[in-house]
Amino acid sequence: MRKENKTFIIGHKNPDTDSICSAIAYADIKNRTCKGSYVPKRAGQINEETEFVLKYFHADAPGYLPDVGTQIKDMEIHETPGAEKTMSVKRAWNLMKEHNAVTLPITTKEGKLEGLITTGDIAKSYMDAYDNTILAQARTQYRSIADTVEGEIIVGNEHGYFIKGKVWIGAAHPDTMENYIEKDDLVILGNRAEDQLCAIEEDASCLIICLGSKVSHTIQRLAAERDVVIITTPYDTFTVARLIHQSIPVKYFMKKENLITFRNDEFTDKIKDIMTKNRYRAFPVVNTRGRYIGTVSRRNLLNIKKKQLILVDHNEKSQAVDNIDEAEILEIIDHHRIGTLETFQPVMFRNQPVGCTATIMYQIYSENYLDIPQNIAGLLCAAILSDTLMFRSPTCTEKDREAAEELAKIAQIEIESFAGKMFRAGSNLSDKTPEEIFYQDYKKFIVGDLVFGVGQISFMSEEELQSVKERLMPYMEKECGKHGVKMVFFMLTNIIKESTELLCYGQNADVLVNDAFGGKLTDSSCRLDGVVSRKKQLIPKFMNALQQ
């Protein structure tokens, strides 16, 4: 079972306005120019600024996709239908043959899993068929018995159950039969009326008359008076004796304790060991509501379909969604330095030295002669204003400014007024925890064996900046050392003054700042006038200092 192929368009962890808005825009472009289904996603929580932008332009937030590892729903799930526990072994066997299945899940009418029966269970039941009371023990329905021997119930209640007695073949003389037929037994007989009468008089509960033999009205009347069920079948006694065992309901043989089931949203790396240790041929799969949907086997792991991704606004593995190595990357569209991501095959990689991925999206719309929807134009304009700090960042190019101005016309917004509202929304952090503030726009970088992290938040006033500083410093100390991070930096950027107060923590963090900017730290912070860009001003300086 495979669903429609989807390609997810996703930005980096701790997404900013550019990564969210570019994913939405590129999904619109791809859905209008290519076959298939393209869906925008996000790898982290949306920050206050982006939330404001989405609400302002009436756009839905992309769905949350924190991990792109392969899941059971990416496998080819075998759609073996569930069977009711009252189904006969014969019907279950036929159903398994029809669907080429070795395991048949037993389900309720609501689709909940009750048990499992395998071809091995059925084979074992035949090999162990020495007990002639087993039909009664299993409470086998007369209708199921008739169906199994392809017969017809001519007397008695087809909905009744054979619940007592043994199964006999009435091949002996009536005088002999009297000695072994007991009350409530089931007797397989031929066409001799005296044998049929003997079985009725001995209080048998059911007669199976073979070879399509006619049953006299007298025998039928006597059977009805004594509540004896009569079934006629075209088969001979040998065939009936072989088949009748198949009328037992599957609930008697099914496994119902300690069932191993998988949810369709479970990741395959977590189930491989379970499948290896438990050598079952197939494992039932249920959905998130517990309803059975099919089975998977170890063989299905070989042809599993990887999630298909298009990455926007990043190409560093440390910034990518979890388990990126298990996904298939189809395209990368970015405006940062070439990073550490690797692909299994050549991909379309568009990387331009502009201030924002949204600027590239604007260009792609133009290249494809596509009209830009008004709300998407607003999203892209907001992304450019955010990434370029309203054109104040050194990353800003003339292409960014031109794109933003054209997008603002389509979106019918005034740039300075809108930017002020957007930045104030992004710097309103009073209700956020230090952790939420820290990860609002945080990225990890790797240089050789060194891993360091840099976060950034922009403000419109110095007062807002100082209030956040006091809350962040203790959390930075707590985070340093996690996930191999040796140094932590945080940029508190004043958009109006075009300066940054850089908070630092970690071994040799002060040395790196001094080597990069020639400034000394005071109380673990350093004022960097004219520095507003992490990508173009801070990271290149750090890289140069580390490589000296």
What confidence tens digit (pLDDT) does each residue in 56-68 have? 999 999 999 999 9
Can you give the residue range of the structural domain that contains 157?
139-247
Q: What is the mean pLDDT of residues 142-167?
A: 94
User: Is 366 in the same domain as 280?
Assistant: no
Residue 548 has pLDDT above 80, yes or no: no
Amino acid 130: pLDDT? 66
Neighbours of 18 (CB within 10 A): 29
Q: Is residue 86 part of a domain?
A: yes
Amino acid 1: pLDDT? 44
What's the pLDDT tens digit per position in 482-513?
Answer: 878 899 999 999 888 889 999 999 988 999 99
Amino acid 384: pLDDT? 97
User: Is 416 in the same domain as 480?
Assistant: no
Amino acid 128: pLDDT? 66
Residue 241 has pLDDT above 60, yes or no: yes
Amino acid 171: pLDDT? 81
User: Is 383 in the same domain as 470?
Assistant: no
User: Is 310 in the same domain as 421?
Assistant: yes
User: Is 96 in the same domain as 50?
Assistant: no
Q: What is the mean pLDDT of residues 256-268?
A: 89
Judged by DSSP in three states, 288 sits in coil
Please give the Cα distance from 323 to 335 (Å, whole number). 23
Residue 270 has pLDDT above 90, yes or no: no
Query: CB-based burial of residue 409 (10 Å sphere; 0-12 exposed, 13-18 middle, 19+ buried)?
Result: exposed
User: Is 121 in the same domain as 230?
Assistant: no
Residue 208, domain CATH? 3.40.1390.20
Give the residue from 355, 315, 345 showing the smallest Cα distance to 333: 315
Q: Is residue 132 part of a domain?
A: no
Please give the Cα distance from 336 to 80 (Å, whole number). 48
Residue 129 has pLDDT above 80, yes or no: no
User: Is 256 in the same domain as 114?
Assistant: yes
Instruction: Label residue 3 by pLDDT band (50, 70, 90).
Output: low
Q: Is residue 58 part of a domain?
A: yes
What's the pLDDT tens digit per position in 349-400?
Answer: 999 999 999 999 999 999 999 999 999 999 999 999 999 999 998 899 999 9
Residue 333, domain CATH? 3.90.1640.10
Please give the Cα distance from 5 to 516 (Å, whole number). 47
Instruction: Select the more confidently predicted residue: 128 or 449.
Output: 449
Judged by DSSP in three states, 527 sits in strand
Helices (DSSP H) in 192-267: which residue ranges? 193-201, 217-225, 237-243
Q: Is residue 101 part of a domain?
A: yes
Q: What is the mean pLDDT of residues 149-176?
A: 91
Residue 122 has pLDDT above 90, yes or no: no
φ, ψ dihedrals at 450, nearest 5°: -95, 130
Residue 86, domain CATH? 3.10.580.10
User: Is 310 in the same domain as 416?
Assistant: yes
Q: Is residue 1 part of a domain?
A: no
| Residue finishing a domain among 224, 247, 270 | 247
Q: What is the mean pLDDT of residues 92-96?
A: 91
| Residue finishing a domain among 392, 426, 460 | 426
Residue 446, domain CATH? 3.10.310.20
Residue 251 has pLDDT above 70, yes or no: yes
Residue 7 has pLDDT above 50, yes or no: yes
Q: Is residue 398 part of a domain?
A: yes
The residue with tokens 């998988």 is 262
Q: Is residue 411 part of a domain?
A: yes
User: Is 84 in the same domain as 64?
Assistant: no
Q: What is the mean pLDDT of residues 291-320?
A: 90
User: Is 391 in the same domain as 406?
Assistant: yes
Residue 473 has pLDDT above 80, yes or no: yes
User: Is 278 in the same domain as 331?
Assistant: no
Residue 4 has pLDDT above 70, yes or no: no
Q: What is the mean pLDDT of residues 393-412?
A: 96
What's the pLDDT tens digit per position in 168-218?
Answer: 998 888 888 888 889 999 999 999 999 999 999 999 999 999 999 999 999
User: Is 185 in the same domain as 273?
Assistant: no
Query: Residue 76's Cα: distance from chain center in Å?
Result: 13
Instruction: Label residue 535 by pLDDT band (50, 70, 90).
Output: confident
Residue 2 has pLDDT above 50, yes or no: no
Decide: 514 and 520 in contact? Cβ < 8 Å: yes
Domain count, the chain: 4
Q: What is the mean pLDDT of residues 451-471?
A: 82
Instruction: State the average pLDDT for the chain.
Output: 90
Helices and strands (DSSP H and E) totals, the chain: 19, 23
Q: What is the mean pLDDT of residues 526-548?
A: 90
Instruction: Select the more confidently predicted residue: 15 or 172.
Output: 15
Q: Is residue 98 part of a domain?
A: yes
Amino acid 387: pLDDT? 93
Amino acid 40: pLDDT? 98
Query: Residue 417's Cα: distance from chain center in Å?
Result: 42
The residue with tokens 């190019």 is 397
